Amino acid sequence: MCGLNVFVSSRPAAGAPDPASAEAFAAALETMHHRGPDDTRVEFADGVAFGFKRLAIIDRAEAAQPVHYRDRWTVVFNGEIYNYRELRAELISEHGATFATEGDSEVLAAAFHFWGPAALPRLRGMFAFVAYDTWTGTLHAARDQFGIKPLYLLETVDGLFLASERKALLAFAGGSGPSIDTDALAHYFTFQYVPDPLTLHRQIRRLPPGHRLTWTAGGGVRTERYFRPKLRPLSTTPENAQQAIRDALRDSVHQHLHAEVPVGAFLSSGVDSSAIVALAREKKPDLHVFTAGFAADGYSEIEIAEDTARQLGVRITPTVVTEDDVIRELPRIVHLLDDPVADPSLVPLYFLAQTASRYVTVTLSGEGSDELFGGYTIYREPMSLHRIERLPDSMKRGLRGLAHAIPEGVRGRSFLERGTTPIEERYYGNARIFSPEEKAHLLRFTADPHTAITAHLYAETADVDDSTSMQHVDLHTWLPGDILAKADRMSMAHSLELRVPFLDQAVYAAAAGLPTELKLPAHSSTTKHALREAMRGIVPESVRERRKLGFPTPTRLWLKGSIGDWVGGLISGSGPRHLIDVDYALRLLTEHRAGHADNSRKVWTVAMFCLWWAIFVDRTIRPVPLTMPLPPAQAAPRPLHGQSLHGQSLGGQSALGESDRITTVLTGQ
């Protein structure tokens, strides 16, 4: 797990970068120091700059990056390729490939050399990488199939910048501050995250999951999707489905344990993390696991997780999060996110990763299981609405009118509204914060509706049932935009590599064809039925049937206490009054604190945006000590261009501190 920063000039013959540009590039790399504290390297050659922060996991002594292969390729790579040993053997036997290291990054470089983009579907792992072809002057980049690892891009007249985090590109975006993408902001208030490929910064975009890009000085950026996950229910027996799940997940977990550093796992109260821990313990009996909870009644899974750990025979370390912890660390959390993510569960995840990082360098976690195996209770909604949805349109229109006549909160109104609303309008994804009507009150601008994000996804699932369509929407939006974004940022904040065995090609293949009745059987109220049955005899029975909790967060209680006071001050003093109606947001908070309505998710979403604004736009909050100063708001440094640094030092204790070292490699001279 690492952080990368790359620049390729549109004017490769323009000359060497000047000192200010070189220092700006090094400073940008330092904003991601937490992603890779073990080694820092910067290379300049022929109009291309590579910066890399390494968290050493495999071949720790030798496999430094950037990697060079066959005097043609320069590669930087964030992630892990779990089948790299098999690919290495194949490359040697088929192509006579040679290797100077024992790591996966050189295997990735060789795979791209011999197979080109056809190598991408063969990679089993998580990755975001950049590969520069010195022979053709073409830059290639790709992001893994599900979006586990991030990759941001900024294209300017000077060239193309890419980085693992958006903050590493800000100095090169120009202007006095970010130009806000109002469509992205409107989507944030719907989904509680900014969906790919958007960011709140209009100039900066994310490469979507399962996509690759190419760039040339004359042709600019071209993107292409190489993988699109699809769920297509097929005919199979329960026994065959369960065996396929069991075999694929066991193999995936065992593959994900490979490392030259200590490996642990997160453990909550549910079947996902329990399955990973149980299967990991088969190979690693001394597995150390970690859990988190809050000092509030009903909001802690610690006791349940401790009981599960005892039954599985593993050591467990709990973390208790207090309100003071939240107020102290929330600005740092939002800074690490780059764009706001208003999912409160990222708060315990941050502290959980902080504790785990004191004992291990790698941890396994259960992200992706719910989207693949049907783990959210909302996926059962189409079954409960089936009878009303089958009524003639004229009758449904009448029932919808009746629903509007029923007072808000009265039993039956919600059922009639949902049953008479097409799924494309009813289901935005796993989170729905502000409705279109509510956004009309909150926002001081008009923007694209949420269907701009979801319409094409529903079009792709016209031939499957509604529950599978909902999974498909979440698999392409909620999973990369919320679940994986918070997992990456909160773990890397503490230089902890988080691995997700459920998001493995073989596990995906076992889940993709599951019939809906095996995931969400009509005779039961459970979710992930096939997965639960596959884990029979592997995880304790008490866990196998337990409903999902997933580190519950006491947001509604927080907002009635000292955190609510803090949030009120944050919103009332907020800068973006031209974008949001602050008075409306404060009324939501007042209603919540008085007990008139549960507005906790809406208020939290507004508060996270206001905090983001204070950090990245107004710069009134500086949540982390900076190893190098931010560029002044009114002037951005000039972008890098040219061939080499000609011996100029990028380091120096005055700029980076005594513990930081940058290795500068000069090539192409």
Catalytic residues: 2
Residue with tokens 């949030």: 567
Q: CA 333 to CA 565: how far, in whole Å?
A: 19
- Identify the three-state secondary structure at position 138: strand
Strand-strand pairing, 497-499 and 362-364: parallel
Question: At how many degrees (to 10) do helices 323-337 and 562-572 cross?
Answer: 40
Decide: 385 and 420 in contact? Cβ < 8 Å.
no
Bridge partners for 44 per DSSP: 49, 666
Q: Buried (b) or exposed (e) across 432-441, using 16+ Cβ within 10 A?
A: ebbeeeebee
- Identify the three-state secondary structure at position 487: helix
Angle at 58 between CA 57 and CA 62, to 5 degrees: 110
Q: Buried (b) or exposed (e) across 309-321, using 16+ Cβ within 10 A?
A: beebebebbbbeb
Question: At how many degrees (to 10) do helices 600-616 and 182-191 cross?
Answer: 150
Dig out the tokens for 338 from the structure.
């780059």
Instruction: Please report which helix (H) or strand (E) contains residue 172, including its range.
Output: none
Q: CA 271 to CA 666: how far, in whole Å?
A: 51
Decide: 36 and 52 in contact? Cβ < 8 Å.
yes
- Identify the three-state secondary structure at position 46: coil
User: Which one-letter DSSP state was computed for residue 536?
Assistant: B
10 Å CB burial of residue 580 (0-12, 13-18, 19+) is buried
